[in-house]
Amino acid sequence: MKKNVLIIGAGGVARVVAHKCAQNNDVLGDIHIASRTKSKCEAIVASVHEMGNMKAEGLLESHALDAMDVAATVALIKHTDTQIVINVGTAFLNMSVMSACIETGTAYIDTAIHEEQDKICETPPWYANYEWPRKAECEKAGVTAILGAGFDPGVVNAFARLAKDDYVDDITDIDIVDINAGSHGKYFATNFDPEINFREFTGTVYSWQDSQWKENEMFEVGKEYDLPVVGKQMAYMSGHDEVHSLAKNMGSPNVRFWMGFGEHYINVFTVLKNIGLLSEQPVKLANGDEVVPLKVVKACLPDPSSLAPNYTGKTCIGDFVKGTKNGNPAEVFIYNVADHKEAYEEVGSQGISYTAGVPPVAAAILVASGEWDVKTMANVEELPPKPFLHILGQIGLPTCIRDENGERQLDFSK
Select 15 or 244, whichever has its Cβ closest to a second copy: 15
Q: In angstroms, what is the minimal distance from the CB of 168 to a second copy? A: 43
Q: b/e for 363-401, b at 16 or more Cβ within 10 A?
A: bbbbbbeeebbbebbbbbbbbebbbbbbbbbebbbbbbb
Contact between 128 and a second copy (CB under 8 A)? no
- Bridge partners, residue 237, by sequence: 258
Query: Using DSSP, how many helices (H) and how many strands (E) does the chain show?
Result: 14, 19
Contact between 299 and a second copy (CB under 8 A)? yes
Q: In angstroms, what is the minimal distance from the CB of 270 to a second copy? A: 9
- Bridge partners, residue 320, by sequence: 175, 333
Q: Which of 118, 232, 263, 285 binds a second copy (CB under 8 A)?
A: 285
Select 56 or 291, whichever has its Cβ closest to a second copy: 291
Q: In angstroms, what is the minimal distance from the CB of 286 to a second copy? A: 6
Select 51 or 297, whichever has its Cβ closest to a second copy: 297
Q: In angstroms, what is the minimal distance from the CB of 274 to a second copy? A: 5
107 in Cβ contact with 145 (< 8 Å): yes
**Using alpha carbons only, how large is the chain's radius of gyration in Å?**
20
Q: b/e for 303-337, b at 16 or more Cβ within 10 A?
A: ebbebbeebebbbbbbbbbbbeeeeeebbbbbbbb
Q: Which stretch binds a second copy (CB under 8 A): 43-51, 118-126, 249-257, 297-305?
A: 297-305
Q: In angstroms, what is the minimal distance from the CB of 125 to a second copy? A: 30
Contact between 118 and a second copy (CB under 8 A)? no
Contact between 116 and a second copy (CB under 8 A)? no
Q: In angstroms, what is the minimal distance from the CB of 296 to a second copy? A: 5
| Phi and psi, residue 265, nearest 5° | -60, -45
Handedness of CA 311, 313, 319, 320 (dihedral sign): negative
Q: Which of 118, 300, 326, 404 binds a second copy (CB under 8 A)?
A: 300
| Nearest alpha carbon to residue 146 among 112, 108, 101 | 108
Select 140 or 264, whichever has its Cβ closest to a second copy: 264
| Phi and psi, residue 171, nearest 5° | -65, 135
Neighbours of 108 (CB within 10 A): 23
DSSP secondary structure code for residue 313 in this structure: S
Binding mask 254-283 for a second copy (x = CB under 8 A): -------------xx--xx-xxxx-x---x
Select 188 or 213, whichever has its Cβ closest to a second copy: 188
Handedness of CA 32, 56, 372, 193 (dihedral sign): negative
Q: Which of 31, 93, 176, 301 binds a second copy (CB under 8 A)?
A: 301
Kindly determine how many residues on this chain lie close enough to bind a second copy according to the rule CB under 8 A.
26
Q: Which stretch binds a second copy (CB under 8 A): 56-64, 144-152, 284-292, 360-368?
A: 284-292
| Phi and psi, residue 67, nearest 5° | -75, 0
Binding mask 176-205 for a second copy (x = CB under 8 A): -----------xx-----------------
Interacting residues with a second copy (CB under 8 A): 187-188, 267-268, 271-272, 274-277, 279, 283-287, 289, 291, 293, 295-301
